[in-house]
Amino acid sequence: VLDFNDPFSTEVKPRILLMGLRRSGKSSIQKVVFHKMSPNETLFLESTNKICREDVSNSSFVNFQIWDFPGQIDFFDPTFDYEMIFRGTGALIFVIDSQVFFLALARLHLTVTRAYKVNPDINFEIFIHKVDGLSDDHKIETQRDIHQRANDDLADAGLEKIHLSFYLTSIYDHSIFEAFSKVVQKLIPQLPTLENLLNIFISVSTCYILSFLFDVVSKIYIATDSTPVDMQTYELCCDMIDVVIDISCIYGLKDDGTGTPYDKESMAIIKLNNTTVLYLKEVTKFLALVCFFFLESFERKEYEQFFHFFFCVNVFINMENISVFFFLIDYNFHCFRKAIQFFFEVRMKVVRSRKHQSHMQKNKRPTPNGTPRMPL
């Protein structure tokens, strides 16, 4: 359990709060994104009647607590210590039902204003949810209406400096994963460095179109290069990760059933029908690099027969000799992986240092009777 008065605890594992009115879809979002629940199964979820806290620790970068708040509970009631709730929170996700949002706007305004007074550093993320039932024009109109009303309410209260980020989401497509990716990225201090590494990687490998650094468990991408991301590209990457994991679980284990299906030897190449190739390779135990590149960049006469055979297969899993043909990619990837590992090590050193400082601060606090604590 985190000590909320510990100034270093939020640096170790930030909190994400899921708030909104009852039946807005908060629990469904959590189950689909982090528990691989089918969207159709969420129809049978019971309404949340208590605060549910969950640790999400898929990797050193995707590492936070997510708190799901029941919509029917008024946590501004005097019996709740709402200052404790908002203190140290990294992001507040307020979920609004896109088809019934008028009452939610009043609750959103109250929540944002109270939270901002306690912690001005909170990232306020608004999920305009359940948009799968709306037409494209209606989606844009709804987002514009909610955006205008929410910001007008803040302006009337003299809080124009509060920034709200809006996302159109649905559990029936990849929009909810992309929205969560944007939220998580804001909680990663190393994000500019990761983006710079990806930009360097694609600049020295001129064949690439776009690259992602994915968390393979949740399919949240924690970084991408400076190229704009579209939904179709993101969906292709998610589908590729599913293919790799599913096939690896069948063929990636050893004959005796030991080992892990996803390891440092895992990689995959998928040829699309538009001369584009998807390339995936393991970075760490939970992270994967997924890239798009042009097929023409790899057309070499000396490898023409090998490419013809390999691209007919379309998908490669755990092929050790593939580096013979992609030596330039593998060399650049090796440098990229070493840089990522270096930042993992630095991050862990920072975490240990902050824990040590926190421990030392606690030891310096006087005991209840006023006498100093004895050092351990």
How far does the chain reach from its first CA to its final CA, in angstroms? 22
**What's the pLDDT at 50?**
82
Question: Percent of the chain, pLDDT > 70?
Answer: 79
Rounded to whole angstroms, how far apart are CA atoms 203 and 62? 26
**Which has more confidence, 238 or 206?**
238
Mean pLDDT of 111-119: 92
Domain at 329, CATH number: 3.30.450.190
The residues, any chain, with a CB within 8 Å of residue 111's CB and separated by 6 or more, are: 19, 92, 94
Q: What is the CATH number of the domain that holds 28?
A: 3.40.50.300
Strands (E), 204-339: 208-215, 220-224, 267-271, 276-282, 287-294
Secondary structure (3-state) at 221: strand
Range of the domain at 325: 190-347
> Pick the residue with more confidence: 282 or 294?
282
Confidence at residue 300, expressed as pLDDT on a 0 to 100 scale: 46
Residues 198 and 213 in one domain: yes
DSSP string, 10-69: HHHS-EEEEEESTTSSHHHHHHHHHH---GGGGGGPPPP-S-EEEEEESSSSSEEEEEE-
Whether 126 has a pLDDT exceeding 50, the answer reads yes
Please report the pLDDT score of residue 372 as a whole number: 56
pTM of the predicted model over 0.75: yes
- The answer to whether residue 2 sits within a structural domain is no
- Do 182 and 289 fall into the same domain? no
The answer on 138 and 19 residing in a single domain is: yes
Mean pLDDT over residues 176-180, rounded? 93
Whole-number Cα distances in Å, 335 to 162, 176, 279, 339, 341? 40, 32, 17, 6, 10
Mean pLDDT (the chain) is 79
The answer, yes or no, to whether residue 80 has pLDDT greater than 80, is no
- What's the half-sphere exposure (Cβ side, CA atoms, 13 Å) at 272? 15
The pLDDT value recorded for residue 130 is 93
The answer on pLDDT for 8 being more than 70 is no
Report residue 143 as tokens. Answer: 């987002």
Tens digits of per-residue pLDDT, 310-340? 444 444 443 443 344 456 777 788 888 888 8
Element (H, E) at 129: strand 123-129
Report the pLDDT value the prediction gives residue 303, as an integer from 0 to 100.
Answer: 42
Instruction: State whether 76 and 139 are in the same domain.
Output: yes
Contact in structure between 213 and 289 (CB atoms under 8 Å): yes
What is the rounded radius of gyration, in angstroms, for the C-alpha atoms of the chain? Answer: 23
User: Is position 373 within any domain?
Assistant: no
Greater pLDDT, 46 or 296: 46
pLDDT of the residue at 297? 53
pLDDT digits (tens, 9 = 90+) for 218-262: 888 989 988 888 888 888 899 999 888 888 888 777 777 666 778
Domain count for the chain: 2
Identity of the residue numbered 195: E
